Amino acid sequence: MFYLLAVFIIIVLIDLPNLIRKKDIKMIIIYGCFYVTAIVLSLAIVFDLSVTSPMVLADSFIRNVLHLSY
């Protein structure tokens, strides 16, 4: 678990300063959302929790909320 968090911290230290310098608030928010999702899913896998596929959740959202089908 320590290595996983260390890798995520290193990635933030590499990517985030460039976004802050550009003052691109939208990208910082989007980056943060994806990053937090990735950390949560990774930690769930490390702790042997059952993780539902994101595609199943996306499919459910598309069918039930957006009422689209393919």
Mean pLDDT of 28-32: 92
For residue 23, give its domain range.
2-65
To the nearest 10°, the Cα dihedral for 34, 37, 41, 47?
130
| Within-domain flag for 26 | yes
**pLDDT on residue 26:** 92
What percentage of the chain reaches a pLDDT higher than 70?
99
If one counts the domains in the chain, the total is 1
Q: For position 29, what pLDDT does the model report?
A: 93
**70 part of a folded domain:** no
Specify the higher pLDDT residue, 5 or 54.
5
Looking at the domain assignment, is residue 31 inside a domain? yes
Residues 6 or more apart from 29 whose CB is under 8 A from it?
none
Average pLDDT of span 3-27? 91
Helix (H) or strand (E) run with residue 46 in it: helix 25-46
pLDDT value at residue 14: 92
| Res 36 pLDDT > 90 | yes
